[in-house]
């Protein structure tokens, strides 16, 4: 179906049809609506290849992700923020998932980037990506914004250091003075900056209160191995062993970097006859407030929806001026007190 055919059916010129379908020109409202109705009835679809050739734009943004858990993850609220921001601008979201092998391929990636059908890219490789990837994006002049990646420019991240500090300050404000940071050690390849920044925020809060930080690191298998072995209770056993060994010097409150540690603590405490939050309080950092096994954990919720919207806004600026580097943004989360924190007993 062409503009000429629509023009003949509507009794107007092809230029008038173009104005009507693109909301341009100075056509009367009645004519514009009549032309659109005829185009719909005839099944007209815009030729996007011709549109892209004429305008240099595809009106689409590509979300580039990997296949490895923990290295390229996207919380649902982040995806909502990205989608809603794009939809409000009349843009579409494409998804490209590229394996680690192809990501490092000097044959595949340049061809992939040269042939992309998007105006820009949101890159969701949080760490472990090859140094050549940013260079290739720059070489082929693809506007790109990184999400949850520790870069000084063209990136939007949660403020993980602020999250660790906020979680700790909440416990200090409740009156706790024996506050520990408990985490499973990151496995090989798990070098995301949150493993560095969240405990740094904890240490800052302790220093501000004049307290000595207590960091407990439990040697566990890598996250992706644990996720593939759901019948194994290795992490629960690690926390049980720690709590048994720390009976005489057990902290009254714990900050954890994620819900795995938080629920392991809650389960282990129940096994040993401790009350949460009566005997020990637990606060964590997470995507959203969790309520597994009927227990909602006091959580610093990371602002993923806002991160998605800000990433799109930054990318639109990059599309206008691709060569300009924009300073990275770090957005703070908010703490929601739930069932696992209270003033210390006695």
Q: Which pLDDT belongs to residue 224?
A: 63
Q: Which pLDDT belongs to residue 128?
A: 80
The residue ranges of DSSP E strands in 17-135, in sequence order, are 60-65, 92-97, 120-123
Q: Which pLDDT belongs to residue 73?
A: 82
Q: Which pLDDT belongs to residue 306?
A: 97
Q: Which pLDDT belongs to residue 17?
A: 85
Is 80 exceeded by the pLDDT of residue 281?
yes
Q: Which pLDDT belongs to residue 100?
A: 84
Q: Mind listing the pLDDT tens digit for each residue in 115-156?
A: 888 899 999 988 888 888 888 888 888 999 999 998 999 999
Q: If you average pLDDT over residues 153-179, what whole number do you get?
A: 96
Distance from C-alpha of 64 to C-alpha of 144, rounded to nearest angstrom: 10
Q: If you average pLDDT over residues 276-282, what whole number do you get?
A: 94
Q: Which pLDDT belongs to residue 146?
A: 96
Q: What pTM was computed for the model?
A: 0.82
Q: Mind listing the pLDDT tens digit for each residue in 313-332?
A: 999 999 988 888 999 999 99
Q: Show the tokens assigned to 298.
A: 């006091």
Question: How many residues would you count in the chain?
Answer: 346
Distance from C-alpha of 101 to C-alpha of 130, rounded to nearest angstrom: 10
Confidence tier at 51 by pLDDT (50, 70, 90): low
Q: Which pLDDT belongs to residue 316?
A: 95
Q: Which pLDDT belongs to residue 254?
A: 97
For the residues of 120-147, what is the DSSP string, one character each? EEEE---S---THHHHHHHHTT--EEEE
Cβ-based burial of 245 (10 A; exposed 0-12, middle 13-18, buried ≥19): exposed
For residues 45 and 31, the model is more confident at 31
Q: Mind listing the pLDDT tens digit for each residue in 251-275?
A: 999 999 999 899 999 999 999 999 9
Q: Which pLDDT belongs to residue 229?
A: 66
Q: Show the tokens assigned to 254.
A: 């714990």
Q: Which pLDDT belongs to residue 286?
A: 92
Closest CA relative to residue 164, chosen from 61, 256, 34, 274: 256
Computed over every residue of the chain, the mean pLDDT equals: 88
Q: 210: alpha, beta or left, given left = phi > 0 and alpha = psi -120 to 50? A: left
Q: Which pLDDT belongs to residue 39?
A: 85
| Residues contacting 259, CB < 8 A, separation 6+ | 284, 286, 290, 292, 297
Is 90 exceeded by the pLDDT of residue 23?
no
In the chain the domains, ranked by start, together with CATH numbers, are 3-45 (no CATH), 60-158+305-331 (3.40.50.2300), 160-302 (3.40.50.2300)
Q: Mind listing the pLDDT tens digit for each residue in 182-241?
A: 998 876 556 789 999 999 999 999 999 999 999 999 987 766 666 676 667 888 899 999
Q: Mind listing the pLDDT tens digit for each residue in 295-311?
A: 899 999 999 999 999 99
Contact in structure between 156 and 178 (CB atoms under 8 Å): no
Is 90 exceeded by the pLDDT of residue 84?
yes
Distance from C-alpha of 196 to C-alpha of 108, rounded to nearest angstrom: 33
Contact in structure between 82 and 50 (CB atoms under 8 Å): no
């Amino acid at each position: 179906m062409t503009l000429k055919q629509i023009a003949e059916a509507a009794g107007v010129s092809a230029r008038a049809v173009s104005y009507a379908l693109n909301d341009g020109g100075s056509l009367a409202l009645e004519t514009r609506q009549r032309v659109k109705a005829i185009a719909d009835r005839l099944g007209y679809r815009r030729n996007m290849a011709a549109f892209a050739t004429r305008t240099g734009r595809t009106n689409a943004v590509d979300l580039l992700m990997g296949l490895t858990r923990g290295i390229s993850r996207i919380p649902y609220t982040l995806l909502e923020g990205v989608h809603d921001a794009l939809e409000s601008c009349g843009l579409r979201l494409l998804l490209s998932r590229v394996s680690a092998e192809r990501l490092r391929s000097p044959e595949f990636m340049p061809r992939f980037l040269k042939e992309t059908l998007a105006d820009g890219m949101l890159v969701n490789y949080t760490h472990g990506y090859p140094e050549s990837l940013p260079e290739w994006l720059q070489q082929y002049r693809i506007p790109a914004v990184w999400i949850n990646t520790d870069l000084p420019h063209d990136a939007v991240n949660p403020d993980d250091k602020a999250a660790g500090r906020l979680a700790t300050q909440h416990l200090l404000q409740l009156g706790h003075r024996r506050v520990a940071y408990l985490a499973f050690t990151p496995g090989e390849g798990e070098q995301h900056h949150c493993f560095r920044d969240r405990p740094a925020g904890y240490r800052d809060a302790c220093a501000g209160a004049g307290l000595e930080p207590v960091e407990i690191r439990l040697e566990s298998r890598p996250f992706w191995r644990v996720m593939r072995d759901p019948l194994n209770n290795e992490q629960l056993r690690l926390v049980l062993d720690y709590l048994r060994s720390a009976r005489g010097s057990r902290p009254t409150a714990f900050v954890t970097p994620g819900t795995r540690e938080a629920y392991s603590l809650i389960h282990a405490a129940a096994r040993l006859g401790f009350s949460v939050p009566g005997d020990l309080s637990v606060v964590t950092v997470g995507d959203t407030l969790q309520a597994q096994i009927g227990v909602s954990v006091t959580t610093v919720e990371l602002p993923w929806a806002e991160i998605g919207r800000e990433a799109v806004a930054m990318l639109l600026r990059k599309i206008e001026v691709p060569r300009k580097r924009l300073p990275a943004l770090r957005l703070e989360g908010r703490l929601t007190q739930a069932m696992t924190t209270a003033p210390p007993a006695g």
